[in-house]
Structure 1
Amino acid sequence: MAKMNDLRSALEFLKTKEGQYIESDVEVDPKAELSGVYRYVGAGGTVPRPTQEGPAMVFTNVRGHENARVAIGVLASRKRVGYLLNEKPENLGFLLNKAVENPIPPVVVDNAKAKCQEEVHYATEEGFDIRKLIPAPTNTEEDAGPYITMGLCYASDPETKESDITIHRLCLQSKDEISMYFVPGARHLGVFREKAEAAGKPLPISISIGVDPAIEIASCFEPPTTPLGYNELGAAGGIRGEAVELTSCLTIDEKCIANAEYVIEGELIPNARIREDVNSDSGKAMPEFPGYTGGAQPAIPVIKVKAVTTRKNPIMQSCIGPSEEHVSMAGIPTEASIISMVNRAMPGKLKNVYCASSGGGKYIAVLQFVKSVPSDEGRQRQAALLAFSAFSELKHVFLVDEDVDCFDIKDVMWAMTTRFQADVDMIPIPGVRCHPLDPSNDPANSPSIRDHGIACKAIFDCTVPFAEKDRFHRSKFKELDPSHWVPELFK
């Protein structure tokens, strides 16, 4: 297994795997064109059809950005994430759960060893402009502007000094300003920003772009699995079996990822707000994971940029919000969180979990549950309630038996068709806070919804009642090795 601890080594590794990497030297416009191309090549997820699961792609000729490359779709396949994390795709949730429970804290290295600072651009320099330095794509022609979609935001609690890393929606608004969208109540950095603002002080923040995929996946854990004070970089270290290396920023009192391709150093300015679409007036922000373009926020926090540092010939990394890449980043940590929560309450009953592509990795979870004794009947629904507790943004939980492949939605729908009766097997849970980016979570959609972002969550119990199991045996085909007959299909 090749050693991977940065984006470049990950891309080099993917080149050795058939069908997992492609690049183009044809000039591409980062405004709408780049993401438009990848929609067809390999976005998947909830983007409009036609799309497909395809390779990671690197554009080597980006209009207006000489010597820069843009990588997209690195994590837009569960199979590819398995390659990158050296684990079978179906076991990724268990891998991440183990990493959270056995973290390896990050370490700090000298600036001289930090590859992310091979080139330095200070905001005080004449002609400094983040829009020219950073080839951030504008995903559609409606977008508010160019967005950093894979920026690892690192900041620290002003009081406790505990640090955290998360990914946020970041729009390049001017030569030295970036808007930063916080989903209400969903991120630790929001707590840090509020504390700093209450004290009238700026919050130092670094944004690392183009890093080890293990860091990108681990950064998407959320409470209660990683409570306030838990630095997800420790989980990334647990995945790799070695500590993530940080280094000190050059213009702010904060750390950044030492081998990132790009690092933006800046400060969240207290009481400063900006209209997200101030440059476009489109009323739109960018495509988000549910498959719709998010509305532009009227007033969101502002980062004042102090410097941009890069590796030589840096690789910008981006993703399409509704793509399978978001499913990997958000869904696999959620699977790990559900595994942890359910296994503590009822060990051995949960066989696996899949946070499905159709829910963007956040809204849908399929739980594969084992009923082995009569008293297990009903525990499957308790497991569903625990899943909602493990990840508050879940909207629908599907329960299936161990003979149903939870990763195959066709098989899940088969179970729903032949083992589910809506009058007794659907359990609605109205009036629960969910996620504001689902447009149906709004009073306009139902009189039962009191506020935008509240949903009627639901459990769909597609399991066979324990006492009826003898009536629901699937047809028993002979178990054999098909490679004897068609080796080219089963390598």
Structure 2
Amino acid sequence: MNQINDLRSALDLLKTMENQFIETDIEIDPMNELAGLYRKIGAGGTVMRPTKEGPAAVFNRIKGYPEARIAIGLLASRKRVGYLLNCQPEKLGFLLKNAVERPVRPITIPQAEALCQTLVYRADEHDFDLRKLIPASTNSIEDAGPYITLGMAYASNPITGESDVSIHRLCIQSKDEMTIFLQPGARHIGAFHELAEAKGQPLPISISIGVDPAIEVTACFEPPTTPIGYDELQIAGAIRNKPVELVQCLTINEKAIANAEYVIEGEILPKVRMREDINSNSGKAMPEFPGYCGPANPSLPVIKVKAVTTRKNPIMQTCIGPSEEHVSMAGIPTEASILQMVDKAMPGKLKNVYCASSGGGKYIAVLQFQKSVASDEGRHRQAALLAFSAFAELKHVFLVDEDVDCFDMNDVLWAMTTRFQADRDLILLPGIQCHPLDPSNDPVYNPLLKEHGNACKAIFDCTVPFNQKQRFERAKFQDVDPRHWFKEDDQ
């Protein structure tokens, strides 16, 4: 298999595979048109229908950006993520779980060797304009502005020096300013900003765009699996069995991913806030993973940009917020976190986990649990509670037996139909903090909720009672190999 270490090597691999890659030389506008097109041919996820899972796409001619290209949908298929991480799709959660447990620390290389600093644009130059350098796109006609959706934000604790990488909503607001959405209590960089702001200091931050897909997936881990002080780049290093290479930035005291296509260097300013839709006045931000446009935030921290550095003929990477790409990036780390948490409490009982597309990779988890002895009855529900502990933003947990394919939601709903009675198998957990982007998580929708972002979480126990397993045996078929009759391509 081709060795992947950056975006370009990942695209080169996909080019060798059938139905995994397409490109075009026909010009496209990054403002609405690109997302409108890819929505129909490859987005999937919770995007409004019609949509479908499709190949990754590269656009070689971008309106207004003669030197740039745009890649989209690289991770918008679990099968494709498997190719890119050299792992069977159904084993990706285990791959990430194991990588968390054997981290490989990043290393720093000399600036002369860093491809991301081939071209340098400094903000103190008279013609510097972030809007003309970065071909950021809008997903919908209501977007607050052009967004960087796949920027690897890298910053360090101003007290301890420990670093973190994560992905945030970044809206380009002017020639040298961006707003950054830092969900309270959910991301380490938000905590770093609070520490710096309390001291009246800016927080240096780099934004690396267009990187190894292993970094994009592992950047989405959250506490408690990766507590504060745990640099998620270590997980990507473990997946590749090779340290992620960083480089010292040119204008700030921070590092960036050395082979990124673009790097934005800047500082989160202390005590400065900006309305997210200051340029559009639309009241909306951008389409988010639940499938709705998130409301524009009235007061967000501001990044003052110091420089942009790029590779030659850089490739901008973007995604559609509610697409299958978000499901892959958010969902697979969540699966790993749940597997790790449950395995510590009851080794070997949880056979697999799937964070379903319909939940955007965050709201729904299907747990495949094996009851092998009578005392396992009830432990599967304990596993569901542990899943909520492993990932606070989870809303619904479906429990299924080992004979149910947890990755096939039709099979999960079959189990719910034939192995579930709502009056005995639905467990409600009211008034728990969940996620603010679910519009039903609000007292306006449910007066029993005290605050926006609270939810009534639920466990759907679609498992067979251990003492009744013989009543629920699925029809048995002879196991045959179709290759005796048909080629694999025909199948």
Fold similarity call, TM over 0.5? yes
For 2:293 and 2:463, the matched residues in 1 are separated by 35
- 1:43 aligned partner: 43
Q: Which residue of 2 aligns with 1:400?
A: 400
SS in 2 for 1:58: strand
The Cα of 1:41 is off from its aligned counterpart by 1.1
Q: For structure 1, which segment, 262-271 or 19-28, has the greater mean C-alpha deviation from structure 2 after superposition?
A: 19-28
Tell me, in whole angstroms, the C-alpha distance in 1 between the residues paired with 2:489 and 2:397.
34
1:92 aligns with 2:83: no
The separation in 2 between residues aligned to 1:484 and 1:342, in whole angstroms, is 41
Q: How does 1:12-411 map to 2 (within 5 A)?
A: 12-411=12-411
Deviation, structure 1 residue 67: 1.4
Name the amino acid aligned to 2:132.
K
- The one-letter code matched in structure 2 to 1:330 is A
Distance apart, 1:489 and its partner CA: 3.8
Partners in 2 of 1:121 and 1:470 — Cα distance?
Answer: 69
Output the CA distance in 2 between the equivalents of 1:361 and 1:424.
27
Q: Confirm or deny: 8 A CA contact 1:165 1:233 kept in the other structure.
A: yes
Q: CA deviation at 1:335?
A: 0.2
Q: Name the CA distance, whole Å, in 1 between partners of 2:447 and 2:180.
A: 32
Does the residue aligned with 2:173 lie in a helix, a strand or coil? strand
Q: Distance in 1 between the 2:361 and 2:446 partners?
A: 24
Q: CA deviation at 1:49?
A: 0.6
Q: What residue identity is the alignment partner of 2:351? A: K
- Tell me, in whole angstroms, the C-alpha distance in 1 between the residues paired with 2:489 and 2:264: 46
Q: Matched residues in 1 for 2:219 and 2:118: separation?
A: 25
Per the alignment, in what secondary structure is the counterpart of residue 40 of structure 1? helix
Equivalent residue number for residue 435 of structure 1:
435
Shift of 1:62: 0.7
CA distance in 1, matches of 2:114, 2:10: 18
Residue identity matched to 1:78 = R
Partners of 1:213 and 1:140 in 2: CA distance: 25
Partner SS, residue 247 of structure 2: strand
CA drift of 1:183 comes to 1.2
Summarize deviations over 1:346-377 as a string: whole Å, max 9, x none: 00100000000000000000000000000000
Distance 2:405 2:249 in 1: 47
State the shift of 1:485 in Å: 1.4
- In the alignment, the residues of structure 2 paired with residue 203 and residue 343 of structure 1 have an alpha-carbon distance, to the nearest angstrom, of 38
Q: Counterparts of 2:227 and 2:295 in 1: how far apart (Å)?
A: 29
- Partner Cα distance (1:21, 1:433) in 2: 40
TM-score (norm 1): 0.99
Whole-angstrom distance in 2 between the partners of 1:59 and 1:292: 26
Deviations 1:313-367, CA, capped at 9 Å, x for gaps: 0000000000000000000000000000000000010000000000000000000
Supply the distance in 1 between the matched residues of 2:112 and 2:155 (Cα, whole angstroms).
22
Equivalent pair of 1:356/1:407 in contact (CA under 8 Å): yes
Query: What is the CA deviation profile of residues 135-190 of structure 1, one whole-angstrom value per residue up to 9, with x for unaligned ones?
Result: 00011110000000000000000000000000000000000000000111100000
SS at match of 2:166: strand
Aligned equivalents of 2:220, 2:19: Cα separation in 1: 26
CA distance in 2, matches of 1:365, 1:488: 31
- In structure 1, the residue matched to 2:452 is 452
Distance 2:17 2:155 in 1: 36
Question: Distance between the aligned counterparts of 1:488 and 1:333, measured in 2?
Answer: 31
Aligned-pair identity in percent equals 71
Write the deviation string for residues 76-100 of structure 1: whole angstroms up to 9, x where unpaired.
0000000000000000000000000
1:15 CA drift (Å) = 0.2
What SS is found at the alignment partner of 2:10? helix
The number of aligned residues is 491
Aligned equivalents of 2:293, 2:54: Cα separation in 1: 23
**What is the CA deviation profile of residues 403-459 of structure 1, one whole-angstrom value per residue up to 9, with x for unaligned ones?**
000000000000000000000000000000000000000001112100000000000
Structure 1 residue identity aligned to 2:165: I
CA contact (8 A) 1:482 1:490 kept: no
- Contact preservation (8 Å) 1:395, 1:434: yes
- In 1, the alpha carbon distance for the partners of 2:468 and 2:127 equals 73
**Distance of 1:112 and 1:417 partners within structure 2:** 61
Please say if residues 483 and 489 of structure 1, whose CA atoms lie closer than 8 Å, have aligned partners that are also in contact: no
**What secondary structure is seen at the aligned counterpart in 2 of 1:458?**
strand
TM-superposed deviation, 1:488: 4.0
Counterpart Cα distance in 2 of 1:142 and 1:469 = 52
CA distance in 1, matches of 2:177, 2:24: 31
Give 3-state SS (helix, strand or coil) of 2:304's partner.
strand
Q: Which amino acid aligns with 1:315?
A: I
Distance in 2 between the 1:112 and 1:274 partners? 36
CA contact 1:103–1:237 (8 Å) conserved in 2: yes
Scaled by the length of structure 2, the TM-score of the pair is 0.99
Q: Distance in 2 between matches of 1:378 and 1:302?
A: 49
Counterpart CA distance in 2 for 1:343 and 1:290 is 29
Instruction: Give the Cα separation in 1 of the matches to 2:34 and 2:132.
Output: 16
Amino acid at match of 1:148: I
CA root-mean-square deviation: 0.7
Measure, in 1, the Cα distance between the counterparts of 2:409 and 2:105: 37
Q: In structure 2, the residue corresponding to 1:174 is in which secondary structure?
A: coil
> Is 1:483–1:490's contact at 8 Å kept on the other side of the alignment?
no
Name the SS of the counterpart of 2:34 in structure 1: helix
Using the TM superposition, give the Cα deviation of residue 490 of structure 1 relative to its aligned residue in structure 2, in angstroms: 6.3
Shift of 1:484: 1.3
State the shift of 1:27 in Å: 1.1
